[in-house]
Amino acid sequence: MTLTELKYIVAVARAKHFGHAAEACFVAQPTLSVAIKKLEDELGVVLFERGGAEISVTPLGAQIVAQAERVLEQTAAIKELAKQNKDPLSGPLRLGVIYTIAPYLLPPLVKTMIASTPQMPLVLQENFTVKLLEMLRQGELDAAIMALPLPEHGMSLQALYDEPFVVAMPSQHPWAARSRIPAEDLKSETMLLLGNGHCFRDQVLEVCPEMSRYSAPGNGMQRTFEGSSLETIRHMVASGIGLTVLPRASVQDMEGRDGMLQFRYFENPQPTRRVVLVWRKSFTRKAAIDAVCEAVAQCRLPGVTPVAKSEAQ
């Protein structure tokens, strides 16, 4: 049994496809398949049910894969322990950020990190929350910035800031005369949302649950369109197609002085999201985590409220 074989079975269990797992492991599919068959023969068990378009994990295979994940995490911990006598701020830090935070936080964050810890360059990865958590578990990332709530993860977490949501509308929209927008009023408007997979989409649907029922006759939204990015949606709103909800840090000018868009806060209670930094409990470069938290606090994103360390989870 080798660590490589354990990595292969974890990859197949997650991808449920030998070809996709091989791509994720950067090996040819026959190489991966032969290695897994060798491990099954050695253990005398069947780990995966083959046949059909999707591979399924046997009940015993699921237990073995879970143990393999723990072994791989502990292996990564051994490597981290070997670095304890070195400078924790020396060497790259692999940082993941979700799509709806990265464009607004990363420019000032990278600039701040270069000034404060030039010996620790950031290796950045933008992705969905679920993918970033998977990469953390596999040791492909050291830490990730995302928004609560998160699926069960079993990792360390430090709250960074709270961010309110705002309504974006074309400048000529009748609501531009209002100072605040009731969340329930959104159900009468044409809304533009992010597509499935974006956690911000789910958070917006929590603000106005009627949006998720827009297809039901006589209920919810008149029409809803989905976009691939907040910036694409912002331009669609400016063209008069509809309204959207944005995280406050994505709006530099709440006064809408560009003439194309107007932005308004929600009526109280204002919907918000808490942005956090997540890392494996086995990750030993605590000084690097502290450096990122400090750098985020120095970024002073518009409209967000920093969370005191005493509120860390």
CB contact at 8 A, 56 and 16: yes
| pLDDT at 261 exceeding the cut of 50 | yes
CB contact at 8 A, 184 and 236: no
pLDDT of 83 reads: 64
Mean pLDDT for 264-286 is 90
Higher pLDDT, 300 or 195: 300
Higher pLDDT, 18 or 227: 18
pLDDT of 207 reads: 65
Confidence bin at 218 (pLDDT 50/70/90): very low
Segment 167-214, tens digit of pLDDT: 999 988 999 889 999 888 888 888 888 877 677 777 777 766 655 554
Confidence bin at 30 (pLDDT 50/70/90): very high
The H or E element that residue 289 is part of is: helix 286-299
Mean pLDDT for 86-101 is 88
Mean pLDDT for 151-167 is 90
CB contact at 8 A, 6 and 75: no
Mean pLDDT for 15-37 is 92
Higher pLDDT, 248 or 88: 248
d(CA 5, CA 33): 10
Q: pLDDT averaged over the chain? A: 85
CB contact at 8 A, 89 and 120: yes
| pLDDT at 309 exceeding the cut of 60 | yes
Q: What percent of the chain has pLDDT over 70?
A: 88
Confidence bin at 285 (pLDDT 50/70/90): confident
Segment 115-148, tens digit of pLDDT: 999 989 999 999 989 889 989 988 889 999 999 8
d(CA 95, CA 144): 5
| pLDDT at 79 exceeding the cut of 60 | yes
Cα separation values, 256 from 47, 146, 149, 162, 262, Å:
58, 27, 30, 23, 5
Secondary structure (3-state) at 124: strand
Which segment, 74-88, 215-229, 264-278, is predicted with the most confidence on average?
264-278
Confidence bin at 78 (pLDDT 50/70/90): confident
Tokens 């002085």 belong to which residue? 257
pLDDT of 146 reads: 94
Confidence bin at 255 (pLDDT 50/70/90): confident
pLDDT of 221 reads: 39
CB contact at 8 A, 297 and 100: no
